[in-house]
Amino acid sequence: MKGNEFHTMSDVELTKKLQDLKSELFNLRFRHASGQLENPVSIRICKRDIARVNTELRARQGKA
């Protein structure tokens, strides 16, 4: 996802998305360790999305 897509989400949606991304990252790491991951770049993409969500949540905490 792009960073500007996270700007339009509410705080509840962002926390739900963060939980989903963390579970997806766990599954990707598990599949990578077992040799079943076709595209290892997907781990990096997932990590970046987690960072984007965390950045947006942190920015909103600073405004409050």
Domain with residue 50: its CATH number is: 1.10.287.310
- Smallest CA-to-CA distance from 4 within 52, 59, 61, 64 is with 52
The answer to whether 6 and 52 have CB atoms below 8 angstroms apart is yes
pTM of the model: 0.90
Q: How confident is the model at residue 64 (pLDDT cuts 50, 70, 90)?
A: low
- Smallest CA-to-CA distance from 3 within 63, 59, 61 is with 59
- Smallest CA-to-CA distance from 28 within 16, 19, 20, 36 is with 36
Residue ranges making up the domain that contains 57: 3-63
What is the share, in percent, of the chain residues with pLDDT greater than 70?
Answer: 98
pLDDT digits (tens, 9 = 90+) for 13-33: 999 999 999 999 999 999 999
Which one has a higher pLDDT value, 19 or 9? 19
Crossing angle of helices 41-63/11-33, nearest 10°? 160
Domains in the chain, number: 1
